[in-house]
Amino acid sequence: MKSGLDDAFNPETVADVGASSKRGYFFLRSFLRFKGRVYAVNPGRSEIPELGLKVYPRVTDIPDKVDFVFVETPAHTVPGIIEDCVKKGVKLVAIFTAGFSETGRKEGIELEEKIKEIIRGSKTRVLGPNCLGLYNPRIGLAWRANLPLDAGDVAFISQSGGLANLVILYGHTRGLRFSKVVSFGNACDIGLEELLLYFKDDPETRVVAAYIEGIKDAKGLAETFLEVSLKKPLIVWKGGRSEDGARACASHTGSLAGSHRIWSAVFRQTGVVEVKTLEELVDTALTFSFLPPIRGNSVGSISISGGASVTISDLLSEAGFRVPPLREETIRLIDEEVRRVYPEGISVINPVDVSAAYYNPGVVSTVIDVMTGDPNIDLIIFDLPVMYLAYSWRQSDAFRGEFMEALIKSGKNAIEKGKPFVVVLSPVGDEALWVRLRDTLVKEKIPVYPDMRRTCDALRNAKSYYEFLEKRRKAESHLADELEAPLLKVT
Amino acid sequence: MKSGLDDAFNPETVADVGASSKRGYFFLRSFLRFKGRVYAVNPGRSEIPELGLKVYPRVTDIPDKVDFVFVETPAHTVPGIIEDCVKKGVKLVAIFTAGFSETGRKEGIELEEKIKEIIRGSKTRVLGPNCLGLYNPRIGLAWRANLPLDAGDVAFISQSGGLANLVILYGHTRGLRFSKVVSFGNACDIGLEELLLYFKDDPETRVVAAYIEGIKDAKGLAETFLEVSLKKPLIVWKGGRSEDGARACASHTGSLAGSHRIWSAVFRQTGVVEVKTLEELVDTALTFSFLPPIRGNSVGSISISGGASVTISDLLSEAGFRVPPLREETIRLIDEEVRRVYPEGISVINPVDVSAAYYNPGVVSTVIDVMTGDPNIDLIIFDLPVMYLAYSWRQSDAFRGEFMEALIKSGKNAIEKGKPFVVVLSPVGDEALWVRLRDTLVKEKIPVYPDMRRTCDALRNAKSYYEFLEKRRKAESHLADELEAPLLKVT
């Protein structure tokens, strides 16, 4: 394996080869947001006046070093361009062009082999072909003009460019921020395993996620999975689990999906968190990115409605959690505060259903704060029903501000104290308000999920990872005990 | 059992007893939208000037017949009011007030027994206590001012008032329209079984759904389930499946949740479609309400991205569907049309991933139309990724209109020809556009789901119902064969 990718993934200059007015300079326009220097290459023209850019005939003609090259020319021209890149000392090439090994056709396979030969022994690394390449928001590098440029701590590795777009865009609305996203397509050079090892050690990455359709060489992958997940949460979405899905994979990236029974076993044994949809991937990554570890299964659940309390209890149970009765002191403190604003008082065992007192900022703070202090509660779920809020908030804007302030302050405090706190925010009743509230909360790094099932699935996924780590820790300390045991027996 | 509920559920006059300025006349304001005559009753005042209403001291003082009474006074006053209602010949009373048997306290249980005694032998029927009563949008009767008044073909029966609100509001944004919704609370008179039988025969109802926490008397319920589901799809959301959920039920509606193993067995044997969340209930009801029966498991899947094709294939397989290769004639027709707009041509086996040709209205029509005509395809799923559309539509509004027109025309045609057609529309990339597109499609009665998992779950639920009907039909015709068999043997 070649040396680290860090240099290749942090270019200072970028060149787009084959930018075309037919596609409205789709990619080039996005590269103009790059914080370094940007060049356009196209033998057919000398300038793009509408973008104020001079165009060079070849990469080798650029009078500057070139670190990163994005290739969007027809397949048969690609080997020549790669030759120029090697000559120029380019560090990373991303080949967007399709029509290589994924077609299953002889010409495509041979073209791809040619690329491999050209870069052999050089310092030039290649992503693709049939990929979108590198998204590194910290330096303003993105392949689409609508991809956001604020950076964070989640890395995403994707065999599908389309899904990389979806994960970035959807993740962003949910509050996820990415360290880097890599779309690796046919993986003629840089592949899954190398990327996993890179992100394991990337200090900017706290959570690693990947979409995989299949791999060409499975040797060592399980060890790599384990190596990563012992250091950081590793989320894998495996496409092609089913027979029909595998057939779709073959015509998509030309990869063999493999038996899903084997994949699942490998995931379980190596601590990989398996997800099955875009939504579950983003929900789960959000949980890891925003929350401290989940160290137990006792949930404190707060809601306004009896029906919601029942639902969340059922779904949590099915996800391996409990909603245990609160300890007496906790109940007394909540009851006291609730009675202050709602004289009739309500019984608050758990789930806490404070009914009409729900709207009171003091009640919100108290309930969250005492649960944060209750050692029998491992995590807190706050059900925020837009429907009811929309109604009461129409009455008073000031009230809304106070309510959200109390929620954010107490929620953040819980998270800072190491107690996971999440909000279930369903769009029912007012979709515009839903978007506004969600954006307000995720800006404060409070995770928000759109319904109870997805909340429970994400929390279960995260819990399973921390349980895996704990089991490993115990097994290792047990092993250490055994190694010491003979000595103890001797004494 | 008393006579039918039809008269009780279609009142011509409504009276609100106990409307109070403290609650801002919350319920009374909503009743003002009722198409018949509305009266206010409160012994403490003679008029509500802000609503332009005269107030009567007692129901018996109203100089008109009174068909429906909504009671929102303190628990101890309720029996007296019910006495007046019986005297006045009121057909239906909904008791909003809580504090009866659901508290588990002696006084509450006794008060509820008193109500039962008062109505015994009378024509007055009671919903509740501890309920929201009756939502009948066709006559403008709703318990909240923000509940919509357009009527449809789905009935919802709910033991929880809060969930009734959520189902109506969420269902409405998804395109569901209701024949009637009944919140029955403690069920001191009208209960689950009677409501199920009522909706079985209600000509305005095509789909019946229910949220149940527990029942007091299980005798005969399985037979009722079967009776309904042999005639109409019956969807049941059972709260309190888990131990913690059952505890939440007990403090919510005072009902015993019962063993979920038994409930599940009953559901399976009686053709009841079980759902576990608000979202699944609405998704499933939508499928039944908008689509013809699903008579097979072969799906034609259309999408723009390879990754999406893989995901939908995997999830469909896990839901018991297949994405089989299309027959040659279908492929040829699609290929021809795609080639017309996208000369390179794409292989379109199934899932059909037409890539860049996706945006072409002619391609959209052709793909849907030929799948509609393909006897090997039982239902069609169209993946509409807002992310890509948002981009291309920013370029041209005219194009957008043409695209949607083609989609709607061909989609409606499929449904009219008895071939279920659904759209997967995820909000990724543009949440405002997502709402607009969804609203456009559901107005045309094309079902839209927000992600692939939920699409597959809803289709699986619907398929399971039609499979149940088919099995019953076969079993019955087999039975008929057996009854005839001896005669045949004799000849």
Q: What is the pLDDT of residues B427-462, one digit of tens each?
A: 988 898 899 999 999 999 999 999 999 999 999 999
Q: What is the pLDDT of residues A426-437, one digit of tens each?
A: 998 889 889 999
Q: Which residues of B touch A103 (CB under 8 A)?
A: none
Query: pLDDT grade, residue B255 (50/70/90)?
Result: low
Q: What is the mean pLDDT of residues B332-358?
A: 78
Distance of CA A18 to the CA centre of its chain: 31
Q: Which residues of B touch A318 (CB under 8 A)?
A: 241-242
List b or e across B408-433, with b for residues whose CB sees 16 or more CB atoms inside 10 angstroms.
Answer: bbbbeebbeeebbbbbbbbbbbbbeb
Residue A484 confidence (pLDDT)? 64
Please write down the HEC assignment for all residues of B445-460: CCCEECCHHHHHHHHH
- Interface probe with A: pick from B174, B314, B438, most Cβ of A within 10 Å: B314
Query: pLDDT grade, residue B391 (50/70/90)?
Result: low
Question: Is pLDDT at B74 greater than 90 in this prediction?
Answer: yes
Q: What is the pLDDT of residues A84-133, one digit of tens each?
A: 999 999 999 999 999 999 888 999 999 999 999 999 999 999 999 999 99
List b or e across A175-199, with b for residues whose CB sees 16 or more CB atoms inside 10 angstroms.
Answer: bbbbbbbbbbbbbbbbbbbbbbbbb
A121-130, A357-366, B226-235: least confident range: A357-366
Q: What is the mean pLDDT of residues A221-248?
A: 91
**Shortest Cα–Cα distance, B207 to chain A (Å):** 22
Question: Is pLDDT at A488 greater than 50 in this prediction?
Answer: no
Residue B489 confidence (pLDDT)? 44
A306, A313, A324 member nearest B253 (Cβ): A306
Q: Which residues of A touch B323 (CB under 8 A)?
A: 244, 248
CA dihedral sign of residues A185, A190, A193, A198: negative
Q: How far apart are CA A100 and CA A103, in angstroms?
A: 6
Q: Which residue has the higher pLDDT, B258 or A17?
A: A17
Question: Is pLDDT at B257 greater than 70 in this prediction?
Answer: no
Contact A162 B311 (CB under 8 A): no
A:B CB pairs within 8 Å: 199
Q: How far apart are CA B392 and CA B395, in angstroms?
A: 5
Query: pLDDT grade, residue B488 (50/70/90)?
Result: very low
Among residues A223, A160, A178, A167, the alpha carbon closest in space to that of A197 is found at A223
Contact B241 A169 (CB under 8 A): no
Contact B163 A316 (CB under 8 A): no
Report CA-CA distances (Å) from B485 to A406, B7, B471, B475, B488. Answer: 76, 48, 20, 15, 5
Question: Is pLDDT at B490 greater than 80 in this prediction?
Answer: no
Q: What is the mean pLDDT of residues B338-353?
A: 76
Report CA-CA distances (Å) from A93 to A67, A72, A375. Answer: 8, 11, 53
Q: What is the mean pLDDT of residues A377-383?
A: 96
End-to-end Cα spacing for chain A: 49
Residue B483 confidence (pLDDT)? 66
Q: What is the mean pLDDT of residues A253-272?
A: 80
Q: Which residue has the higher pLDDT, B49 or A250?
A: B49
Query: pLDDT grade, residue B485 (50/70/90)?
Result: low
Among residues B393, B396, B381, the alpha carbon closest in space to that of B430 is found at B393
**Bridging pattern class, strands A207-212 and A178-183:** unpaired
Q: Which residues of B touch A316 (CB under 8 A)?
A: 242, 244
A110-114, A235-239, A463-467, B486-490: least confident range: B486-490
Which residue in this structure is represented by tokens 């309904």?
A: B228
Torsions phi, psi for B46 (to 5 deg): -110, -15
Question: Is pLDDT at A252 greater than 70 in this prediction?
Answer: no
Residue A282 confidence (pLDDT)? 98
Question: Is pLDDT at A307 greater than 90 in this prediction?
Answer: no
Q: What is the mean pLDDT of residues B272-294?
A: 97
Domains of chain A: 1-130 (3.40.50.720), 150-290 (3.40.50.261), 292-458 (3.40.50.261)
Q: How many helices and strands, by DSSP H and E, does chain A display?
A: 16, 18
Q: What is the mean pLDDT of residues A58-68?
A: 98
Q: How far apart are CA A62 and CA A58, in angstroms?
A: 7
Q: CA-nearest residue of chain A to B237? A: A311
Query: pLDDT grade, residue A479 (50/70/90)?
Result: confident
Contact A252 B307 (CB under 8 A): yes
Q: What is the mean pLDDT of residues A264-273?
A: 94
Query: pLDDT grade, residue A335 (50/70/90)?
Result: confident
Q: Which residues of A touch B297 (CB under 8 A)?
A: none
Query: pLDDT grade, residue B253 (50/70/90)?
Result: low
B349, B387, B435 member nearest A165 (Cβ): B387
Q: How far apart are CA A139 and CA A149, in angstroms?
A: 8
Contact A311 B245 (CB under 8 A): yes
Residue A491 confidence (pLDDT)? 39
3-class DSSP assignment, residue A206: coil
Q: What contacts 24+ positions apart, CB below 8 Å, involve B436-440?
A: B437/B384, B437/B386, B437/B389, B437/B404, B438/B173, B438/B174, B438/B175, B440/B404, B440/B408
Q: Which residue has the higher pLDDT, A234 or A362?
A: A234
Q: Which residue has the higher pLDDT, B369 or B262?
A: B369
Distance of CA A261 to the CA centre of its chain: 24
Strand partners, A153: none
Q: What is the pLDDT of residues B7-29, one digit of tens each?
A: 999 999 999 999 888 878 999 99
Contact assessment for residue A197 and residue A228, using Cβ atoms and an 8 Å cutoff: yes
Residue-averaged pLDDT of chain B: 90
Peptide bond into B129 cis (omega under 30): yes
Residue B218 confidence (pLDDT)? 67
Q: Which residues of B touch A169 (CB under 8 A)?
A: 387, 428-429
Contact A314 B241 (CB under 8 A): yes
Q: What's the farthest any 2 CA atoms get from each other in chain B? A: 86
Residue B240 confidence (pLDDT)? 87
Question: Is pLDDT at B5 greater than 70 in this prediction?
Answer: yes
Q: CA-nearest residue of chain A to B452? A: A277
Q: Which residues of A touch B162 (CB under 8 A)?
A: 304-308
Contact A429 B211 (CB under 8 A): no
Cβ neighbours, 10 Å, residue A348: 23
Query: pLDDT grade, residue B42 (50/70/90)?
Result: very high
What angle is formed at CA A306 by the lines to CA B157 and CA B76, rounded to 5 degrees?
85
Q: How far apart are CA A164 and CA A158, in angstroms?
A: 6
* Helix (H), strand (E) at residue A62: none
**Shortest Cα–Cα distance, B290 to chain A (Å):** 21
A221-225, A366-370, B103-107, B350-354: least confident range: B350-354
Residue A274 confidence (pLDDT)? 97
Q: Give me the interface pTM, i.e. the ipTM.
A: 0.90
Report CA-CA distances (Å) from B429 to B121, B270, B432. Answer: 61, 43, 9
Torsions phi, psi for B384 (to 5 deg): -115, 95
Q: Taking the CA of residue A52 as centre, how many other CA atoms within 13 Å lie in the half-sphere pointing to its CB? A: 1
Question: Is pLDDT at A223 greater than 70 in this prediction?
Answer: yes
Residue A490 confidence (pLDDT)? 42
Q: What is the pLDDT of residues B169-204, one digit of tens each?
A: 999 999 999 999 999 999 999 999 999 999 999 999
Query: pLDDT grade, residue B399 (50/70/90)?
Result: low
Residue B86 confidence (pLDDT)? 98
- Interface probe with B: pick from A23, A298, A314, most Cβ of B within 10 Å: A314
Contact A239 B314 (CB under 8 A): yes
List alpha helices for A141-259, DSSP H: 161-173, 192-201, 221-229, 243-253
Which residue in this structure is represented by tokens 């318990």?
A: B143
Residue A392 confidence (pLDDT)? 59
Residue B2 confidence (pLDDT)? 43
Residue A348 confidence (pLDDT)? 74
Question: Is pLDDT at B165 greater than 90 in this prediction?
Answer: yes
Question: Is pLDDT at A460 greater than 70 in this prediction?
Answer: yes
Residue B491 confidence (pLDDT)? 39
Q: How far apart are CA B151 and CA B172, in angstroms?
A: 10
